[in-house]
Amino acid sequence: MSTDKIAPGKGTGGTVSYGSDGHRGRITIPVLHRMKRDERRIVSVTAYDYTFARLLDESGVDLILVGDSLGMVVQGHDTTLPVTLDEMIYHARCVSRGVDRAMVVCDLPFGAFQGGPQQALQSAVRVLKESGAQAVKIEGGRIMAETIEHLVARDIPVVAHVGLTPQSVHAFGGFKVQGRGEAGDKVMEDARIAAESGACLLVLEGMPSELAARITESITIPTIGIGAGAGCDGQVLVLYDLLGLYGEVQPRFVKRYLDGAEGIRQALTDYATEVRSGVFPAPEHQFK
Ligand code: KIV
């Protein structure tokens, strides 16, 4: 993995890493398709704001997903369902401002596309026009085939999402692994139809690893897994899970790369102690 200084001015002034493929330009759909063909794994993380997006971009993340998971990790809801299209556009716009290299994908939230292809088109046009994202993500396979085709025919790149689709939480009776046993045929069918309808990428969430690996081998578009095992073309994690910022419960598929919550609690406790004791602000933090 090569690293170089980024141009000063924008961002943190840190180093930027170009990822495993050494690709320096903007990550586009053809680049991601080439990565699948060359068996180079795609790195994806969610983001919801400028500062984190900047850090992810500088770290060489290939694909930044502005997920409607923001309804849970940013807004504090129990599900993703309350998130609105305006809120998605707002967060995607903040993220896009921080990104020079990664591809940015924005979720269409619950209620913004289930009304049919025309509603989905209006929502997707708003996302691409107002946020700077390069593609929209839609939950669903077979049931969304017509919608995916409608958008793709109008040059709107669509990422499809099958398996444990969080917007279906009530229909599933909870956030439950999908596609076990014979139910695997339905998920396989959803994946195949989404790919044939023209989706450019496919998110595989919450399913047996063996099923996700079979799907990955059987379609030509890249698969990005979350709780779907090592056989996918890439992996995505929710940023706040990866950094150990969100929730007491740690799903099996999450790996925490930082105990962020503990570090932040400690920093805030230190700050409070120093304010109360008069240690902060010190002379060097004050104007003469
Ligand atoms: O909303 C989200 O963050 C997602 C990813 C976890 C795939 O859909």
Burial zone of 45 (CB within 10 Å; 0-12 exposed, 13-18 middle, 19+ buried): buried
Of residues 181 and 247, more confidently modeled? 181
Ligand 1 centroid, distance to 107 Cα (angstroms) = 8
The question of whether 205 is a catalytic residue gets the answer yes
Q: What is the pLDDT of residue 80?
A: 98
| Domain coverage including residue 104 | 2-257
Q: Give the chain's domain count.
A: 1
CB 192 within 8 A of CB 233: no
Residue 140 domain flag: yes
3-state SS of 150-207 is HHHCCCCCEEEEEECCHHHHHHHCCCCCCCCHHHHHHHHHHHHHHHHCCCCEEEEECC
Residue 172 domain flag: yes
Q: What is the pLDDT of residue 277?
A: 98
Residue 220 domain flag: yes
Residue 269 domain flag: no
Q: Which two tokens stand for residue 199?
A: 């989706």
Q: What is the pLDDT of residue 247?
A: 83
Across 32-41, average pLDDT: 98
Q: What is the pLDDT of residues 204-246, one digit of tens each?
A: 999 999 999 999 999 999 999 999 999 999 999 999 999 999 9
Judged by average pLDDT, the poorest of 2-6, 175-179, 238-242, 280-284 is 2-6
Cα distances from 132 to residues 99, 202, 221, 225, in angstroms, run 10, 21, 23, 24
Across 46-66, average pLDDT: 98
Closest atom of ligand 1 to CA, residue 65 = 3
Residue 285 domain flag: no
CATH number at 156 reads 3.20.20.60
Q: Which two tokens stand for residue 137?
A: 């993500």
Query: Ligand 1 pocket test: which of 42, 49, 61, 80 has the largest number of ligand atoms within 8 Å of its C-beta?
Result: 80
Query: Ligand 1 pocket test: which of 139, 162, 226, 240 has the largest number of ligand atoms within 8 Å of its C-beta?
Result: 226
Q: What is the pLDDT of residues 79-118, one digit of tens each?
A: 999 999 999 999 999 999 999 999 999 999 999 999 999 9
Residue 288 domain flag: no
- Residue 30, pLDDT > 70, answer yes
- Residue 283, pLDDT > 80, answer yes
Confidence tier at 17 by pLDDT (50, 70, 90):
low
- CA–CA separation, 226 vs 229, rounded Å? 7
- Residue 16, pLDDT > 90, answer no
CA 156 and chain centroid, separation: 18
With 0.85 as the threshold, say if the pTM is over it: yes
Residue 158 domain flag: yes
Residues 139, 146, 149, 205: which is the catalytic one? 205
- Residue 12, pLDDT > 90, answer no
Q: What is the pLDDT of residue 130?
A: 98
- Residue 50, pLDDT > 60, answer yes
Residue 267 domain flag: no
Across 44-67, average pLDDT: 98
